[in-house]
Amino acid sequence: MTSLSLASVSHRFAKLLAVDDVTLTAEAGEILLLVGPSGCGKSTLLRLAAGLEELQHGSILIGDVTMALPGRSTPPENRGVGLVFQDYALFPHLTIFDNVAFGLADNQQRRERTMAALDSVGMVDLAGGYPHELSGGQQQRVALARALAPRPRVMLLDEPFSGLDARLRDHVRDETLHILKGSGTTALMVTHDPEEAMFMADRIAVMHQGAITQVGSPQEIYFAPRNAFVASFFSEVNRISGRVEAGRIVTHLGPIPAKGHRDGTMVEVLIRPEALVLADGPASACLATVQAARLLGRSSLIHLSVPASEPAIHVHARVPGCVLPPVHDTVGLNLNTELVFVFPAPSVT
């Protein structure tokens, strides 16, 4: 197993700084997810790692071997990386077997490696077929088998499931997770879907405006976001502004600890919807009026108005799907402060 390391990598397209001084390592055998909004530079970073873009600044290593420096680059085919992209790019005139075998040396191991890769993705029985005969999920598996067949040291995956419908995407990414972990291959994968990142990742690197904002396990990213961008990227949040007094922010949802923020500081409070817990009125921190209740399957999203302020605060609570209080009912609210995050108020320019 081999690591992938990028050190002080920057990249410009004309005047646009697409990647800004990124240092990042995917440890040996790890699945590292690079996540962020469209246009943040994550696909550019993956292409630099693959050797598909010329490195302008920094260095790229696979294991302890330098693959790229400014003005000196190992070609993609000599880096020992497997590539899987959103467009699977299968050859329509080749059989499934020949698609997977493409690029392998024509020797006695060619058939063995091809069949082993097809077996790992459950496609042996369709080896003689053609891409147009396959579903989208099957084509994705063939693309994955083709990338695995040369036994790469590192797998690079760029939005590999975004072209699939929701239910098929869930199934295929579950299969892909088990295949990658079973192979022990180090993987760097790009996605803009935070739920997908948390499902697939050993660690997540959050990217924003060309830079890495935070790196950590899914638990660290979700429960200890470093800033408001990270907190709001991984779920909807309720936002409240306030001032720190005596080490806390007094809100109509209850007092919120403001550890690390000085008294008198203006702050922004971000509250995850599941932090708002519906309760019996007398035992609750505040009362709220139900404006809407929407069943979303395993959970319900409750729209609430807290009338104790002027104007009333509008918040969303996410509760188990079996909970659907009637519209206009008054409910109690308690606050789970472990899912409440306090950051300095954004500066006004």
Reply yes or no on whether the pLDDT at 283 is more than 70: no
Average pLDDT over residues 176-194: 91
Work out the number of other CB atoms within 10 angstroms of the CB of residue 254.
Answer: 16
Instruction: Domain ranges for the chain, please list them.
Output: 4-232, 235-344
CATH no. of 235-344? 2.40.50.140
Residue 276: enclosing H or E segment and its boundaries?
strand 276-279
Reply yes or no on whether the pLDDT at 349 is more than 60: no
Which superfamily, per CATH, for 4-232? P-loop containing nucleotide triphosphate hydrolases (3.40.50.300)
**pLDDT tens readout for residues 87-145:** 778 999 999 999 999 888 877 789 999 999 899 888 999 999 999 999 888 898 899 89
Q: How confident is the model at residue 24 (pLDDT cuts 50, 70, 90)?
A: very high
Residue 241: enclosing H or E segment and its boundaries?
strand 238-245
CB neighbours of 244 closer than 8 A, spacing ≥ 6?
258, 261, 262, 263, 264, 265, 267
At 75 the pLDDT is: 94
Rounded Cα distance, 61 and 97, in Å:
32
Reply yes or no on whether the pLDDT at 186 is more than 70: yes
Average pLDDT over residues 251-277: 92
Reply yes or no on whether the pLDDT at 194 is more than 80: yes
CA atoms within 13 A on the CB side of 209: 3
Check: CB of residue 200 under 8 Å from CB of residue 189.
yes
Question: What amino acid is encoded at 93 in this protein?
Answer: H
Percent of the chain with pLDDT over 90: 69
- List the end-to-end C-alpha distance of the chain, in Å, as a whole number: 49
Q: How confident is the model at residue 310 (pLDDT cuts 50, 70, 90)?
A: low
At 166 the pLDDT is: 80
At 321 the pLDDT is: 87
Average pLDDT, the chain: 91
**pLDDT tens readout for residues 241-250:** 999 999 999 8
User: Taking the model in full, what pTM does it have?
Assistant: 0.89
- Pick the more confident residue, 199 or 104: 199
Alpha helices (H) along the chain: 42-50, 96-101, 109-120, 136-148, 166-183, 194-200, 218-223, 228-233
Q: Which stretch, 87-96, 197-206, 237-246, 301-310, has highest mean pLDDT?
A: 197-206
